[in-house]
Amino acid sequence: MQLDPRTGWCAGIRHCPSPNFNARPAAEISLLVIHNISLPPGQFGTGKVEELFCNRLDPCEHPYFSAIASLQVSAHFLIERDGTLIQFVSCLDRAWHAGVSAFAGRQGCNDFSLGIELEGTDEQPYSDLQYAALSNLIRELQSYYPQLTAERICGHCDIAPGRKTDPGPAFDWSRLFSSLPA
């Protein structure tokens, strides 16, 4: 995998362009937000996250989908349980992953962040393959965006406390940070 800094797309991974993005108000990328998602909740490998991010989720297919199918959301990346990495939005664009959020007193984290979704739930351990893919992706992103230091890698719960809980207590932050350069 290699990031093309001119396009913001990573070569060597699957691309599934989402329509749910817009231009960043500034070119600065200085925050990395880790999320989790599974659709239906607690089910993995369904392909429904991709459908949600591409506005193709059928609201009649599952009772949970009727409440979320009209949402226009995305993330830059998704890491599936088997470590498969999918990119939905160029790193140069603003994906719609953080919602109402703030980091270090700055509002609107979508403006200056990259969003990585892990296929999972707050309570179920993430797979070894996911941690390996996440670590590799973060190292690649850090080589182009040096402001993405350990202090600027956080969970959705950290930027939207009280509203969001992901990536949850099952996420092993020490494992992630020990796999990254100091």
Long-range contacts of 1-6 (CB under 8 A, 24+ apart): 1/85, 1/136, 1/137, 1/140, 2/140, 3/91, 3/140, 3/141, 3/143, 3/144, 5/144
Task: Give pLDDT, residue 15.
Answer: 98
> The pTM is what?
0.97
Contact 41, 92 (CB under 8 A): no
- Residue 108 pLDDT class (50, 70, 90 cuts): very high
The residues that bridge with 35 in the sheet, in sequence order, are 117
Task: Give pLDDT, residue 27.
Answer: 72
- Section 114-123 average pLDDT: 98
Kindly report the average pLDDT of the chain as a whole number. 96
Q: In angstroms, what CA-CA distances link 155 with 12, 47, 64?
A: 26, 23, 24
The residue annotated as part of the active site, out of 50, 117, 140, 151, is 117
Domain locations in the chain as residue ranges: 2-178
CATH number for region 2-178: 3.40.80.10
DSSP state of 80: -
Task: Give pLDDT, residue 91.
Answer: 98
Strand order in the sheet with 14-15: 14-15, 85-87, 77-79, 113-119, 31-37, 153-155
108: left (phi over 0), alpha (psi -120 to 50) or beta: left
- Residue 115 pLDDT class (50, 70, 90 cuts): very high
Q: Which pLDDT tens digit goes with each residue over 125-177?
A: 999 999 999 999 999 999 999 999 999 999 999 999 999 999 999 999 999 99
Q: Which pLDDT tens digit goes with each residue over 5-27?
A: 999 999 999 999 999 999 999 77
Burial of residue 139 (CB within 10 Å: 0-12, 13-18, 19+) is middle
Among this protein's residues, is 117 annotated catalytic? yes
pLDDT over threshold 80, residue 182: no
